[in-house]
């Protein structure tokens, strides 16, 4: 599969394309003395089509060149011979082709994009402002971005016997989809039958469905840590086999969410929710107590202690501490806060490398010095938590935050509607959003959660094409904007976060966008290996015993390590 550049490189490439096109216009208009440069025009059109996920043909490139047909055709042939352009069959007959930039051209354009910015700085002043996340998003500028248009009906309605069948998680975002069912039925031209389950039942139903001769569902939602298991078990089909991936506009997805949907180099789903776990904190309470937003675990403990007033019914912080899956997730994310993944992943710029997990050469890393610091941190956090903390999980930690009982809470962005849409909540319009504060010698991380939507491998062939069409609609910028406008606080796309209508809805989208730019959005804290659910369960059991005082931190680490080693 073709690799994609990092977000900052993509942005520079798009700016270079716009600059080349605009400069060409100015030079060609000046005194009518300059002729079009067909090479630059062809390459700019090809690169823009590639980044925006649009089909590009030889005819469209010749048209974009603004040169005579014969001249443009010669230039195009020269680029083929130079290895700058690749062509792929669009039909089974092989008579129609689409045009794509080669790896060589992509590398050259990325390098030229960087040089153009440096030249601009040299001759016209500093371009440092170009990199500010408040001014620029992945594909353009926040200042000039246009609103994403409403959903448009498909040219041809779906022809699915019995309608479209979708299996999802029962969270606020997928419930928004269900509330918009009539609108999506009109868009797709087919009835939609959606089933929503809790996270554990969803996984169980997806696995049961894979054992059926023919899938009962056209599309299923998949929690990102399940990707490795579902890929290796043949539950999902690789999307490259049934669609043109470029049509999804990969450059528009938050990098961590897009990477998390891959396993062994193949794409198994399209991100439908990118919902990092953040630290929610009451800005008004922090201001009243002279506190600064915590950047480190020590600052977090200081703030939690200062805001902990049980005698007034107010507690410092809430988090996932219920036995099993809930606390297990907290353990993995707390390890990440102290700079250590749950596996022995190689360190790379911006985090840790998960690209080779499909080879199976990994081991669990729990019983370590960083693991001990993480365990001791959780014990300290316990002192400033509400009395029912050891039974708190996903929703229970955010509801008391919304009611005003809790000053801070770790929570996924998908839970923000509990206070952002509640006019009676003291946290409404008073909540700040931060990545997880970091331990010593570590960097802040916003662990990525959420769901992708994929196609079951056992879906009958006659339903696949329509299922893919529906998948593209559900994950499109138009649909994602609609979810946000109707209460969702998750979003996998840069363009949606940049939309002025979306940015007015909630500050959460700008905050998450900025975290993505700073490489704080990461999915390595919950690596999607087939054994991850068992490891999470083990951590949630052993650390719960530690929090209850049954075992020491060192004993909890030793037991968790031993049990996890046994399943790898």
Q: What is the pLDDT of residues 347-369, one digit of tens each?
A: 987 789 998 899 988 999 999 99
Q: Which of 7-21, 142-156, 170-184, 230-244 has the lowest mean pLDDT?
A: 7-21
Average confidence (pLDDT) over 436-453: 95
Q: Which residue has the tokens 């193949």?
A: 266
The closest alpha carbon to 224, from 450, 538, 428, 479, belongs to 450
**pLDDT at residue number 258:** 93
Question: What pLDDT digit, counting tens, does each position of 215-272 carry?
Answer: 999 999 999 999 999 999 999 999 999 999 998 999 899 888 999 999 999 999 999 9
* pLDDT at 98 > cutoff 90: no
Q: Which of 122-126, 536-540, 555-559 has the lowest mean pLDDT?
A: 122-126
Question: What pLDDT digit, counting tens, does each position of 72-86 carry?
Answer: 899 999 999 998 998
Q: Domain 275-448+531-567: give its CATH code.
A: 3.40.190.10
Distance of CA 280 to the CA centre of its chain: 19
The closest alpha carbon to 415, from 171, 169, 177, 167, belongs to 171
Phi, psi of 356 (to 5 degrees): -110, 20
Q: Which residues neighbour 541 within 8 Å (Cβ) at sequence distance 6 or greater? A: 323, 324, 328
> Is 7-131 CATH 1.10.15.40?
no
Question: What pLDDT digit, counting tens, does each position of 420-430 carry?
Answer: 999 999 999 99
**pLDDT at residue number 29:** 65
Rounded-to-integer distance, Cα 399 and Cα 468, Å: 37
Half-sphere exposure of 61 (CA within 13 A, CB side): 34
Question: What pLDDT digit, counting tens, does each position of 471-523 carry?
Answer: 999 999 999 999 999 999 999 999 999 898 999 999 999 899 889 888 899 99
The closest alpha carbon to 100, from 80, 82, 81, 114, belongs to 80
* pLDDT at 451 > cutoff 80: yes
**CA angle centred on 66, ends 64 and 68, rounded to 5°:** 120
The alpha carbon dihedral of 233, 235, 237, 238 has a sign of negative
Rounded-to-integer distance, Cα 452 and Cα 220, Å: 8
* pLDDT at 129 > cutoff 60: no
* pLDDT at 11 > cutoff 60: no
* pLDDT at 329 > cutoff 70: yes
Tokens, residue 563 = 């049990």
* pLDDT at 124 > cutoff 60: yes
Phi, psi of 448 (to 5 degrees): -80, 130
The pLDDT confidence band at residue 94, using thresholds 50, 70 and 90, is low
Distance of CA 302 to the CA centre of its chain: 31
* pLDDT at 458 > cutoff 60: yes
Q: Which residue has the tokens 């926040």?
A: 142
Rounded-to-integer distance, Cα 394 and Cα 532, Å: 18
**pLDDT at residue number 92:** 63
Rounded-to-integer distance, Cα 525 and Cα 38, Å: 47
Q: How many C-beta atoms lie closer than 10 Å to residue 74's C-beta?
A: 13
The pLDDT confidence band at residue 10, using thresholds 50, 70 and 90, is low
**pLDDT at residue number 150:** 86
**pLDDT at residue number 519:** 87
Number of H helices, E strands in the chain: 23, 19
Rounded-to-integer distance, Cα 398 and Cα 413, Å: 10
Q: What are the sequence ranges of the domains in the chain?
A: 7-131, 164-274+450-494, 275-448+531-567
* pLDDT at 34 > cutoff 90: no
Percent helix, strand and coil across the chain, each to the nearest 5: 50, 15, 35
**CA angle centred on 488, ends 485 and 491, rounded to 5°:** 95
Tokens, residue 523 = 């999915």
The pLDDT confidence band at residue 318, using thresholds 50, 70 and 90, is very high
Class level of CATH domain 164-274+450-494: alpha beta
**pLDDT at residue number 108:** 75
Long-range contacts of residues 481-485, Cβ cutoff 8 Å, at least 24 apart: 481/148, 482/150, 482/151, 482/180, 482/183, 483/173, 483/176, 483/177, 483/180, 484/509
Q: Report the chain's mean pLDDT, rounded to a whole number.
A: 88
Rounded-to-integer distance, Cα 341 and Cα 353, Å: 10
* pLDDT at 143 > cutoff 50: no
For residue 34, CA distances in Å to 27, 28, 496 come to 6, 5, 39
Rounded-to-integer distance, Cα 436 and Cα 236, Å: 32
Q: Which residues neighbour 37 within 8 Å (Cβ) at sequence distance 6 or greater? A: 24
Phi, psi of 40 (to 5 degrees): -65, -40
* pLDDT at 145 > cutoff 90: no
* pLDDT at 173 > cutoff 50: yes
* pLDDT at 136 > cutoff 50: no
* pLDDT at 133 > cutoff 90: no
Phi, psi of 431 (to 5 degrees): -105, 130
Exposed/middle/buried for 148, CB within 10 Å: 0-12, 13-18, 19+?
buried
* Percentage of the chain modeled with pLDDT above 90: 67
Q: Is 441 left (phi over 0), alpha (psi -120 to 50) or beta?
A: left
The pLDDT confidence band at residue 66, using thresholds 50, 70 and 90, is confident
Q: Do domains 7-131 and 275-448+531-567 have the same CATH topology?
A: no
Q: Which of 24-33, 271-280, 395-404 has the lowest mean pLDDT?
A: 24-33
Rounded-to-integer distance, Cα 338 and Cα 340, Å: 6
Could you give the residue ranges of the DSSP H alpha helices within 30-55? Answer: 38-52
Which is higher by pLDDT, 541 or 38?
A: 541
Q: What's the predicted TM-score (pTM) here? A: 0.73
* pLDDT at 97 > cutoff 90: no
- Map residue 484 onto helix, strand or coil: helix
Q: Which residues neighbour 405 within 8 Å (Cβ) at sequence distance 6 or greater? A: 313, 314, 315, 386
* pLDDT at 8 > cutoff 50: no
Of the chain, the end-to-end C-alpha distance in Å amounts to 29
* pLDDT at 195 > cutoff 70: yes
Pair 53, 250: CB distance under 8 Å:
yes
* pLDDT at 135 > cutoff 50: no
Question: What pLDDT digit, counting tens, does each position of 282-294 carry?
Answer: 999 999 999 999 9
Q: Which residues neighbour 382 within 8 Å (Cβ) at sequence distance 6 or greater? A: 321, 389, 547
């Amino acid at each position: 599969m073709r690799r994609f550049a990092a977000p900052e490189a993509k942005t520079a490439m798009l700016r270079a394309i716009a600059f080349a096109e605009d400069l060409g216009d100015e030079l060609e208009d000046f005194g009518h003395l300059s002729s079009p440069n067909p090479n630059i025009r062809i390459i700019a059109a090809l690169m823009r089509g590639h980044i925006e996920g649009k089909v590009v043909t030889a005819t469209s490139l010749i048209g974009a060149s603004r040169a005579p047909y014969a001249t443009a055709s010669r230039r195009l042939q020269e680029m083929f011979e130079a290895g700058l352009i690749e062509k792929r069959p669009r039909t089974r007959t092989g008579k129609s082709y689409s045009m794509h930039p080669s790896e060589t051209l992509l590398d050259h354009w990325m390098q030229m994009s960087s040089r153009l910015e440096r030249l601009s700085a040299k001759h016209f002043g500093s371009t440092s402002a170009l990199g500010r996340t408040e001014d620029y998003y992945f594909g353009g500028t926040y200042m000039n971005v246009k609103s994403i248009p409403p959903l448009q009906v498909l040219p041809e309605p779906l022809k699915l016997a019995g309608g479209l069948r979708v299996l999802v998680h029962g969270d606020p975002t997928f419930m928004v989809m269900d509330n918009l069912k009539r609108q999506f039925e009109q868009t797709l031209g087919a009835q939609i039958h959606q089933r929503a389950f809790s996270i554990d039942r969803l996984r169980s139903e997806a696995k049961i469905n894979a054992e059926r001769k023919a899938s009962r569902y056209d599309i299923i939602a998949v929690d990102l840590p399940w990707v490795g298991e579902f890929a290796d078990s043949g539950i999902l089909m690789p999307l490259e086999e049934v669609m043109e991936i470029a049509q999804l506009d990969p450059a528009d997805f938050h990098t961590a969410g897009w990477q998390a949907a891959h396993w062994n180099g193949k794409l198994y789903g399209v991100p439908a929710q990118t919902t990092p776990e953040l630290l929610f904190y009451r800005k008004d309470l922090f201001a009243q107590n002279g506190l600064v937003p915590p950047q480190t675990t020590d600052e977090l403990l200081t703030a939690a202690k200062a805001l902990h007033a049980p005698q007034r019914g107010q507690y410092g912080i809430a988090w996932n501490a219920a036995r099993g899956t809930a606390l297990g997730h907290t353990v993995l994310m707390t390890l990440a806060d102290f700079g250590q993944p749950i596996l022995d992943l190689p360190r790379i710029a911006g985090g840790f490398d998960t690209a080779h997990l499909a080879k199976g050469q990994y081991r669990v890393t729990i019983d370590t010095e960083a693991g001990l610091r993480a365990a001791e941190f959780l014990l300290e956090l316990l002192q400033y938590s509400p009395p029912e903390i050891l039974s708190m999980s996903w929703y229970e930690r955010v509801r008391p935050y919304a009611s005003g009982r809790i000053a801070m809470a770790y929570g996924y962005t998908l839970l923000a509607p509990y206070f952002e849409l509640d006019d009676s909540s003291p946290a409404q319009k008073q909540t700040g959003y931060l990545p997880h504060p970091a331990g010593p010698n570590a960097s802040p991380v916003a662990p990525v959660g959420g769901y992708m939507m994929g196609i079951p491998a056992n879906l009958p062939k006659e339903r696949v094409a329509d299922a893919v069409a529906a998948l593209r609609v559900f994950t499109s910028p138009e649909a994602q904007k609609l979810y946000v406008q109707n209460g969702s606080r998750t979003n996998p796309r840069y363009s949606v976060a940049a939309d002025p209508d979306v940015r007015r809805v909630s500050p959460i989208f700008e905050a998450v966008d900025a975290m993505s730019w700073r490489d704080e959005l990461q999915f390595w804290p919950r690596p999607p290996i087939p054994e991850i659910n068992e490891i999470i369960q083990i951590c949630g059991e052993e650390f719960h015993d530690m929090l209850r005082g049954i075992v020491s931190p060192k004993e909890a680490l030793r037991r968790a390590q031993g049990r996890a080693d046994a399943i790898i």
